[in-house]
């Protein structure tokens, strides 16, 4: 149980340990490595969204001077292995086929061959000389086509997991079905005074990390391999590469570079097995760097979706029934986040009667990957839009309506278990009391409100804390630092040891230099790996107490510890408190080096909620809108470094606003992505957004010694609905399809013959 | 006896049974007991996360159970 504690470093805002290297350009990212004898790799990709590979002739490519290796799907062994990936196991057969197509190409940009040559130009020229004969098939370009009569089938052997009876058999494009239910839905709706039902659609969108995928790999004559890459999970890369390429994982070391954003999209492997297979064949290091167009076409965005939601409420605002159907695009292989969407969508509300069904649908688009709270933003867009409709119809303040129906500690989550301490009511009350909620709006402006939920992960983490003879410390974990975790870990170690945070050096280890650690993802690092750091520091502190006991010739149990000093037992002659530096100066004389270590498996961190207020202004002449004010409230448990917590909240909001207003994968009828670049795939930049205000609420998580809950994913959940609700307020039009791009908004305004109206 | 709540998607395979009391000291004992009771869902049991008294374990391993533990089987979640 978390006890109130006065912190010295936790909750302060020290300069991040990796900051200077990053702002001066000294930090090394995925594409920054160069090894002696290095070759350059290029990947040949399918121009067709759906095609059978009839033949691949690499003879002409191999004859190009400067080419050292060419590989196709036949060079990678079939594997049926699965590995733990984040919170779920993944099928490496699909991952391997995604890395290099074996019999069919399943999306525009699917890799079919790869070349390693002395220069990138030679590799590109050789790739162009590869002759691939395709039998082009009709593509499945969306959910409706995937489910329609006579739809082409992506995977003939696919059956619907989780379905019963005749629905379960193939051939089908529905990979799985799941459901959640509680109470009597029909009776619930019969009890309702107001029923609102809407159908929502969202397009496929990309995480948009600034750094493209990049790696360099070598494989020696002894079979020992090294991969340097930008990744959220070096241990995942190690295990996936070994299985896909056919190596012993014990012979593969993965060194994570600095990472320029991931958001879930840098958990899965794309280039690394290809570089490794090419390096093995060429017997020279091979480097591959993706262009932005390939990042869009051939890595994992998040699902496009169709969601139908129906809510029933009493006249007083009590929500009494809900039903929902969700269909999420998985891309080319099974595995969308639709289950998470189903579990999240009613997490905020006490709904006594509900039925939710969720379908995972394969389509001829890139296989989706995780993207910040995977599945939850899509579901929240639907539910929070309908909740907004109910508030309007019943003329109840939107925050008041949510407070009336809010889940609290002891209530049952829609997926079953009872909630522990959660901060939903606290963030709603903070929002209601905030000046933003009552601030006047200008002409053509509207205000929207929405809440969002995410589970927050736990899983495996390891840490070591090594003390130096000068009293400084070095922390090593296996989590690449995306959101400021080096600083947070240093602060936690400093807190436990009682030494200045600047005296703690925080490091990201490779797969040989750190204990096994799950991915940087799931909002888990500050919580789970942080807990490992705290325990490792405690371990080091206990060793320091033992060393003090040796010096004072007393029992360790008699040695106290206060404010970073060992305290001698009362009555000990000539003994005075010793600092960490005084104790570590005598390490050699008292038993040798001190290394604290800890490894743990943590349960999921505990649910977290966010609430967002969005003010938006729309130009009725053009349909263009801009966000004029935005405030995000979030229960984070405990903010270790508040600046990075605020940064996570602001970053999630920025991505959510982009998803709401402009971002979308645009496909031609034959399944070709037409906007694979930042010029045509419009993400918000700094000049598009106002200062995003943040309000941190701290309801301690009892599973963590400081109360940390996890931060990074919740803030992307509410913006889609908050923006759409603001648009409704500004225009009087309920938009049910994203993005709210100028053409779509203008068309709706003109169709409604409406001018912006006041609420 | 731990009270186990089965996800609604599985209850069509359990004859409509939504909750069942199981005498088990640890999670593997509980899973084994459920497999015996409902062999039709044996494969699905391996894929579920387990919530024990509100704490969700993606991989529950050998977690102990109290005599009055409330257990929910829930789908595993992937985070970003």
B78 and A420 within 8 Å at the Cβ level: the answer is no
Q: Are A741 and A401 in contact (CB under 8 A)?
A: no
Average pLDDT over residues A279-295: 98
A525, A522, A520: which is closest to A492 by C-alpha?
A: A525
The reported pLDDT for the residue numbered B76 is: 85
- pLDDT per residue as tens digits for the range A237-278: 999 999 999 999 999 999 999 999 999 999 999 999 999 999
d(CA A382, CA A453): 14
- Report the residue from A371, A417, A523 with minimal CB separation from B56: A417
Peptide bond into A739 cis (omega under 30): yes
Measured in angstroms, the CA of A180 and the nearest CA of chain B are apart by 6
Q: Is A283 exposed, middle or buried (0-12, 13-18, 19+ CB in 10 A)?
A: middle
Determine which of A609-618, B10-19, B71-80 has the lowest per-residue pLDDT on average.
B71-80
A86 and B51 within 8 Å at the Cβ level: the answer is no
SS3 for A549?
helix
The reported pLDDT for the residue numbered B79 is: 67
- pLDDT per residue as tens digits for the range A199-228: 999 999 999 999 999 999 999 989 899 999
Residue A32 CB-half CA count within 13 A: 15
- pLDDT per residue as tens digits for the range A312-364: 999 999 999 999 999 999 999 999 999 999 999 999 999 999 999 999 999 99
- pLDDT per residue as tens digits for the range A108-155: 999 999 999 999 999 999 999 999 999 999 999 999 999 999 999 999
CB atoms within 10 A of CB A590: 18
The CATH topology of domain B2-75 is Ubiquitin-like (UB roll) (3.10.20)
B12 band by pLDDT with thresholds 50, 70 and 90? confident
- Average pLDDT over all residues of chain A: 95
Left if phi > 0, otherwise alpha if psi is -120 to 50, otherwise beta: which for A564?
A: left
Q: What is the interface pTM, i.e. ipTM, of the complex?
A: 0.94
A167 band by pLDDT with thresholds 50, 70 and 90? low
- Report the residue from B59, B74, B78 with minimal CB separation from A415: B74
Determine which of A174-188, A672-686, B38-52 has the lowest per-residue pLDDT on average.
B38-52
Sheet holding A67-72, edge to edge: A67-72, A111-117, A39-45, A286-289, A214-219, A225-229, A252-256
- Report the residue from A181, A416, A459 with minimal CB separation from B51: A416
Residues of A in contact with B41 (CB under 8 A): none
Given the structure tokens 């379905």, which residue do they identify? A163
Token pair of A339 as six digits: 């289950």
d(CA A277, CA A274): 5
A164 and B8 within 8 Å at the Cβ level: the answer is no
Q: Which residues contact A480 (CB under 8 A, 6 or more apart)?
A: A231, A232, A233, A234, A256, A258, A259, A262, A508, A520
CA dihedral A416, A418, A422, A427 (to 10 degrees): 60
pLDDT beyond 80 at A542: yes
A2 band by pLDDT with thresholds 50, 70 and 90? very low
d(CA A470, CA A189): 69
d(CA A297, CA A177): 27
**Percentages (nearest 5) of helix, strand, coil residues in chain A:** 30, 25, 45
B77 and A84 within 8 Å at the Cβ level: the answer is no
Measured in angstroms, the CA of A742 and the nearest CA of chain B are apart by 30
- Report the residue from B9, B51, B70 with minimal CB separation from A179: B9
Residue A596 bridge partners (DSSP)? A465
A755 band by pLDDT with thresholds 50, 70 and 90? low
Its sign, for the CA torsion A505, A508, A510, A514, is: positive
Strands A252-256 and A225-229: parallel
d(CA A204, CA A181): 28
Report the residue of A603, A648, A712 to disrupt the B interface, i.e. the one with the largest count of B CBs within 10 Å.
A603
Phi then psi for residue A617, to 5 deg, are -120, 135
Rg (CA), chain B: 12
The reported pLDDT for the residue numbered A84 is: 65
- pLDDT per residue as tens digits for the range A474-527: 999 999 999 899 999 999 999 999 999 999 999 999 999 999 999 999 999 999
- pLDDT per residue as tens digits for the range A695-715: 999 999 999 999 999 999 999
Report DSSP letters for A617-680, one per residue.
EE-TTT--EEEEEEEEEEE-S--SSHHHHHHHHHHHHHHHHHHHHT----B-TTS-BS--STTT
Residues of B in contact with A180 (CB under 8 A): 7-9
Report DSSP letters for A144-168, one per residue.
HHHHSTT---S-TT---BT--GGGG
B58 and A419 within 8 Å at the Cβ level: the answer is no
pLDDT above 70 coverage of chain A, percent:
97
Q: Are A578 and A548 in contact (CB under 8 A)?
A: yes
Report the residue of A416, A422, A527, A716 to disrupt the B interface, i.e. the one with the largest count of B CBs within 10 Å.
A416
Interior angle at CA B80, CA A156 and CA A99, nearest 5:
40
Residues of A in contact with B77 (CB under 8 A): 87-88, 339-340, 343, 455, 457, 522, 604
Token pair of A755 as six digits: 């001018």
Token pair of A388 as six digits: 């907004």
d(CA A458, CA A600): 10
Token pair of A428 as six digits: 């709603």
A1 band by pLDDT with thresholds 50, 70 and 90? very low
pLDDT beyond 90 at A166: no
Report the residue of A84, A85, A87 to disrupt the B interface, i.e. the one with the largest count of B CBs within 10 Å.
A87
- Report the residue from A85, A178, A454 with minimal CB separation from B75: A178
Its sign, for the CA torsion A647, A695, A420, A388, is: negative
B63, B67, B41, B62: which is closest to B52 by C-alpha?
A: B63
pLDDT beyond 80 at A756: no
pLDDT beyond 80 at A165: no
Measured in angstroms, the CA of A259 and the nearest CA of chain B are apart by 14
A428, A435, A637: which is closest to A526 by C-alpha?
A: A637
Measured in angstroms, the CA of A94 and the nearest CA of chain B are apart by 17
Domains belonging to chain A, first-starting first, are 33-137+211-260+266-298 (3.90.1170.50), 305-456+604-751 (3.30.365.10), 458-602 (3.30.365.10)
- pLDDT per residue as tens digits for the range A582-599: 999 999 999 999 999 999
A272-282 vs A92-99: helix crossing angle, rounded to 10: 70
How many inter-chain contacts (A to B, CB under 8 Å) are there?
115
Its sign, for the CA torsion A192, A196, A199, A201, is: negative
CB atoms within 10 A of CB B38: 19
Q: Is A368 exposed, middle or buried (0-12, 13-18, 19+ CB in 10 A)?
A: buried
pLDDT beyond 60 at A757: no
Q: Are A628 and A691 in contact (CB under 8 A)?
A: no
pLDDT beyond 60 at A751: yes
Strands B2-5 and A565-567: unpaired
E strand or H helix at A214: strand A214-219
Residue A639 CB-half CA count within 13 A: 20
Q: Which residues contact A237 (CB under 8 A, 6 or more apart)?
A: A227, A229, A231, A254, A269, A272
Token pair of B61 as six digits: 């391993």
Strands B2-5 and B70-75: parallel
DSSP A528: I
Residues of B in contact with A166 (CB under 8 A): none
A3, A12, A5: which is closest to A491 by C-alpha?
A: A12
Distances (CA, A) of B41 to A496, B3, B5, B6: 46, 18, 14, 10
The reported pLDDT for the residue numbered B13 is: 86
d(CA A334, CA A160): 10
């Amino acid at each position: 149980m978390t006890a109130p504690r006065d912190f010295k470093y936790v909750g302060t805002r020290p300069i991040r340990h990796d900051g200077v290297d990053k702002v001066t350009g000294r930090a090394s990212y995925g594409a920054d490595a160069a090894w002696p004898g290095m070759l350059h790799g290029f990947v040949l990709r399918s121009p067709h969204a759906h095609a059978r590979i009839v033949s691949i002739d690499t003879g002409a490519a191999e004859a190009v001077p400067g080419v050292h290796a060419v590989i196709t799907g036949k060079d990678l062994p079939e594997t049926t292995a699965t590995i733990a990936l984040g919170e779920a196991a993944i099928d490496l057969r699909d991952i391997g086929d995604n890395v290099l197509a074996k019999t069919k190409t399943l999306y525009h940009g699917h890799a079919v061959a790869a070349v390693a040559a002395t220069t990138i130009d030679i590799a590109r020229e050789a790739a162009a000389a590869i002759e691939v004969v395709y039998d082009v098939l009709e593509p499945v370009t969306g959910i409706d086509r995937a489910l329609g009569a006579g739809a082409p089938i992506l995977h003939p052997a696919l059956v619907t997991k989780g379905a019963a009876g005749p629905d379960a058999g193939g051939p089908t494009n529905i990979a799985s079905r799941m459901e959640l239910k509680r109470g009597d839905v029909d009776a619930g709706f019969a009890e309702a005074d107001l029923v609102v039902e809407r159908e929502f659609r969202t397009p496929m969108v990309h995480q948009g990390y600034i750094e493209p995928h990049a790696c360099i790999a070598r494989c020696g004559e002894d079979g020992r391999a090294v991969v340097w890459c930008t990744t959220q999970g070096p241990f995942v890369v190690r295990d996936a590469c070994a299985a896909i390429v056919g190596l012993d994982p014990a012979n593969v070391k993965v060194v994570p570079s600095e990472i320029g954003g991931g958001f879930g999209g840098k958990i899965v492997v794309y280039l690394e097995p290809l570089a490794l297979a090419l390096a093995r064949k060429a017997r020279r290091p091979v480097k591959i760097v993706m262009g932005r167009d390939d990042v869009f076409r051939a890595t994992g965005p998040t699902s496009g979706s169709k969601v139908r939601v129906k809510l029933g409420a009493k006249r007083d605002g009590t929500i009494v029934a809900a039903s929902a159907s969700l269909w999420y695009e998985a891309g080319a292989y099974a595995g969308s986040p639709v289950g998470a969407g189903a579990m999240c969508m009613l997490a905020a509300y006490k709904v006594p009667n509900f039925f939710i069904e969720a379908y995972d649908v394969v389509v001829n688009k890139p296989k989706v990957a995780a993207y910040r709270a995977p599945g939850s933003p899509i579901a929240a867009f639907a539910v929070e839009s309908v909740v907004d409709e109910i508030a309007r119809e019943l003329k109840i303040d939107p925050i008041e309506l949510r407070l009336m129906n809010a889940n609290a500690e002891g209530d049952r989550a829609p997926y079953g278990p009872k909630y522990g301490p959660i901060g939903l009511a606290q963030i709603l009350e903070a929002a209601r009391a905030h000046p933003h909620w009552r601030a006047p709006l200008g002409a053509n402006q509207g205000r929207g409100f929405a809440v969002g939920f995410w589970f927050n992960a736990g899983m495996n983490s390891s840490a070591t804390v090594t003390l130096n003879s000068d009293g400084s410390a070095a922390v090593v974990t296996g989590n690449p630092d995306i959101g400021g975790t080096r600083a947070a870990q240093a602060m936690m170690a400093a807190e436990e040891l009682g030494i200045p945070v600047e005296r703690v050096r925080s490091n990201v280890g490779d797969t040989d230099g750190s204990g096994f650690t799950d991915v940087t993802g799931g909002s888990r690092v500050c919580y789970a790996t942080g807990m490992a750091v705290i325990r490792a520091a405690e371990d080091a502190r206990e060793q320091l107490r033992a060393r003090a006991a040796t010096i004072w010739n007393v029992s360790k149990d008699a040695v106290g510890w206060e404010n970073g000093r060992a305290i001698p037992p009362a009555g000990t002659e000539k003994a005075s408190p010793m600092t960490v530096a005084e104790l570590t100066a005598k390490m050699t004389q008292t038993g040798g080096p001190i290394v604290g270590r800890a490894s743990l498996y943590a349960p999921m961190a505990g649910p977290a909620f966010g609430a967002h207020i969005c003010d938006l202004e729309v130009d009725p002449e053009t349909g263009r809108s801009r966000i004029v004010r935005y405030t995000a409230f979030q229960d984070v448990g405990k903010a270790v470094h508040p600046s990075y917590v605020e940064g996570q909240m602001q970053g999630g909001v920025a991505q959510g606003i982009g998803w709401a207003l402009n971002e979308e994968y645009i496909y031609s009828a034959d399944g070709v992505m037409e906007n694979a670049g930042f010029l045509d795939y419009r993400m918000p930049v700094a000049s598009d957004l106002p200062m995003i205000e943040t309000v941190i609420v701290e309801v301690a998580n009892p599973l963590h010694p400081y109360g940390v809950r996890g931060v990074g994913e919740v803030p992307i959940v509410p913006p889609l609905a908050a923006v759409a609700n603001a648009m409704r307020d500004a225009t009087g039009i309920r938009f049910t399809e994203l993005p709210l791009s100028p053409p779509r908004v203008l068309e709706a305004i003109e169709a409604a013959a409406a001018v912006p109206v006041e609420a | 006896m731990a009270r186990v709540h089965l996800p609604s998607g599985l209850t069509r395979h359990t004859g409509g049974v939504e909750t069942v009391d199981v005498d088990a000291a640890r999670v593997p004992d509980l899973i084994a007991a459920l497999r015996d009771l409902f062999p039709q869902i044996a494969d699905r049991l391996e894929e579920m996360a387990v919530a024990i008294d509100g704490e969700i374990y993606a991989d529950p391993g050998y977690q102990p159970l109290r005599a009055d533990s409330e257990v929910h089987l829930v789908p595993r979640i992937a985070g970003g």
